[in-house]
């Protein structure tokens, strides 16, 4: 190989490396996922307004997923959730539960909107989360904060996933930013990463067991879900998911991260992430958000505040094996050398 050929060879390797890094920096639609189910004991009635309903208290958690060529596994769980509503908005909200028959629901009933969403259970979630209005199909949330009180340390293999109930290719758009500063006294974010997004109508829809039946529960008391105003509307859809890595947020490895916030697709930061802090500023958080896929229509599955980490590829393990073998040979050499020294003394 001539010097010129060598330079070309090195340049092509660098180009391949840059391409791979570029791929890692984009959010990626999840192509498959695995779950673990924890069966519960059925109970009902749980509230005066849902007297005829049974909740099976079953938790079905996402344990791993594949996005692009990377597999991820659960690595952490947030301990706090904050539901940010603008007081000028209506008090309506809407949630969904997977149903297994008339009046029988898979998950546990939740009496609090935030607690319903926090954790890892694809059997329930929120409906039209960021849609504003007085109708029953509105969630009236401006921002959802999922917080790791002790903070995380950003690393390149870290991923944050968002799951939406929906039909194939019509999943809802939304925006997301990492919380990089947190006031633990007042429980408010003080700094954000750059705002990132998933455009509407993403595909494919996923569901480990095919589409499922769900029932919508409506409420009109902000986060208080103890008394439903309606619970008869049903549907049949699947679950889609998207993973974001820290590269999407322009956050350097080693940076403390306190969790992330989700936003409707109409939220803007006008080029400054500081504008994401005040969710009551209607310049950046419109209070007229509609429930369309390009607005506030996302129907979150309750897989929120979970960090995932990329599972090293087999080739990396093989390389690690070679390295370990090398270390073992070096260790034997040192042991032999040391033994020799002992014999000499
Ligand atoms: Ca949806
Ligand atoms: Ca809004
Ligand atoms: Ca929706």
Q: Write the DSSP string, 35-103.
A: EEEE----B---SGGGTT-EE---EEEEEEEEETTEEEEEEEE-SEEEEE--TTS---EEEEEEEEETT
Report which bound ligand comes closest to the CA of 297. 3
Of 161-165, 231-235, 282-286, 327-331, least confident by mean pLDDT is 327-331
- Tell how many helices (H) and how many strands (E) occur in the chain: 3, 18
Ligand 2 mean position to 141 CA, how many Å? Answer: 7
pLDDT band at 26 (very low <50, low <70, confident <90, very high): confident
- The ligand minimizing its distance to the Cα of 300 is 1
pTM value?
Answer: 0.84
Least confident of 53-57, 122-126, 139-143, 275-279: 53-57
Q: Closest ligand to 86 CA?
A: 2
Q: How far is the centre of ligand 3, averaged over its atoms, from the C-alpha of 132 (Å)?
A: 12
Q: Can you give the residue ranges of every domain in the chain?
A: 26-337
Average pLDDT over residues 65-87: 96
pLDDT exceeds 90 at position 279: yes
pLDDT of res. 47? 52
What is the dihedral sign for C-alpha 203, 208, 212, 216? Answer: negative
Give the pLDDT of residue 57: 94
Q: Quick one: tokens of 74?
A: 């659960």
Closest-approaching ligand to the CA atom of 241: 1
Neighbours of 222 (CB within 10 A): 17
**pLDDT for residue 160 is more than 90:** yes
The band of 207, judged by pLDDT with boundaries at 50, 70 and 90, is confident
CA of 2 to the centre of ligand 3 (A): 60
pLDDT at 211 over 50: yes
Look at residue 171 and tell me whether its pLDDT is greater than 60: yes
Ligand nearest to the CA of 263: 2
CA of 199 to the centre of ligand 2 (A): 17
Q: What distance in angstroms lies between residue 93's CA and the mean position of ligand 3's atoms?
A: 12
Q: Give the ligand whose atoms come closest to the C-alpha of residue 129.
A: 3
Give per-residue pLDDT as tens, 95-153.
999 999 888 999 999 999 999 999 999 999 999 999 999 999 999 999 999 999 999 99
For residue 108, the CA-to-ligand 3 centroid distance in Å is 22
Q: Give distance in angstroms: CA of 214 to centre of ligand 1.
A: 13
Rounded distance from Cα 213 to ligand 1 centre (Å): 14
Distance from the alpha carbon of residue 3 to the mean position of ligand 1, in angstroms:
56
Phi, psi of 41 (to 5 degrees): -95, 125
CA of 301, nearest ligand number: 1
Q: Decide: 40 and 59 in contact? Cβ < 8 Å.
A: yes
| pLDDT of 334 above 60 | no
pLDDT at 338 over 50: no
Residue 310 has pLDDT above 50, yes or no: yes
Question: Is it the case that residue 189 has pLDDT exceeding 50?
Answer: yes
Q: Which burial class, exposed, middle or buried, applies to 102 when counting CB atoms under 10 A from its CB (0-12, 13-18, 19+)?
A: exposed
CA 125 to ligand 2 center in whole angstroms:
19
**Residue 316 in tokens:** 């990396």
Q: What's the average model confidence in pLDDT over 32-43?
A: 91
Q: Which residue has the higher pLDDT, 335 or 194?
A: 194
- The yes-or-no verdict on residue 325 having pLDDT over 50 is no
Q: 169 C-alpha vs ligand 3 centroid, how far in Å?
A: 13
- 168 confidence band (pLDDT: 50, 70, 90): confident
Mean pLDDT of 183-205: 94
Look at residue 236 and tell me whether its pLDDT is greater than 90.
yes
List beta partners, residue 183: 188
Q: Which residue has the higher pLDDT, 267 or 315?
A: 267
For residue 45, the model assigns a pLDDT of 56
Give the closest ligand to the alpha carbon of residue 240: 1
Q: Which residue has the higher pLDDT, 15 or 194?
A: 194
- Please check the confidence at residue 213 and state whether its pLDDT lies above 70: yes
CA of 58 to the centre of ligand 3 (A): 24
Distance 138 CA to ligand 3 centre (A): 9
CA of 294 to the centre of ligand 2 (A): 12
Q: Are 182 and 152 in contact (CB under 8 A)?
A: no
Average pLDDT over residues 77-81: 97
Distance 129 CA to ligand 1 centre (A): 10
Categorize the per-residue pLDDT at 44 as very low, low, confident or very high, splitting at 50, 70 and 90: low
């Amino acid at each position: 190989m001539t010097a010129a050929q060598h330079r070309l060879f090195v340049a092509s390797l660098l180009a391949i490396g840059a391409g791979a890094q570029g791929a890692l920096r984009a959010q990626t639609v999840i192509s498959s996922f695995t779950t673990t189910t924890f069966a519960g004991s059925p109970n009902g009635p749980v509230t005066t307004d849902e007297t005829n309903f049974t909740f099976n208290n079953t938790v079905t958690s996402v344990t791993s997923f594949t996005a692009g060529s990377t597999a991820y596994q659960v690595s952490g769980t947030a301990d706090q959730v904050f539901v940010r509503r603008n007081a000028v908005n209506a008090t309506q909200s809407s949630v969904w539960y997977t149903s297994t028959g008339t009046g029988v629901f898979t998950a546990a009933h939740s009496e609090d909107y935030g607690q319903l969403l926090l954790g890892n259970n694809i059997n329930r979630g929120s409906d039209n989360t960021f849609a504003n209005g007085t109708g029953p199909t509105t969630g009236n949330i401006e921002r959802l904060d999922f917080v790791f009180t002790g903070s995380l340390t950003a690393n390149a293999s870290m991923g944050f996933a968002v799951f939406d109930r929906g039909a194939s290719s019509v999943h809802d758009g939304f925006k997301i930013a990492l919380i990089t500063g947190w006031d633990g006294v007042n429980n408010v974010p003080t700094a954000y990463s750059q705002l990132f997004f998933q455009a509407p109508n993403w595909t494919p829809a996923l569901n480990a067991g095919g589409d499922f039946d769900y029932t919508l529960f409506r409420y009109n008391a902000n986060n208080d879900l103890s008394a439903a105003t309606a619970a008869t509307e049903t549907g049949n859809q699947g679950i889609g998911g998207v993973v974001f890595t820290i590269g999407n947020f322009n956050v350097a490895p080693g940076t403390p991260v306190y969790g992330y916030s989700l936003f409707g697709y109409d939220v803007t930061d006008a080029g400054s992430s500081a504008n994401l802090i005040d969710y009551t500023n209607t310049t950046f958080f419109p209070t007229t958000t509609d429930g369309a896929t390009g607005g506030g229509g996302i129907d979150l599955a309750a897989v929120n505040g979970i960090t995932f980490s990329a599972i090293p590829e087999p080739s990396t393990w093989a390389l690690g094996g070679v390295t370990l073998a090398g270390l073992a040979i070096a260790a034997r050499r040192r042991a032999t050398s040391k033994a020799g020294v002992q014999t000499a003394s």
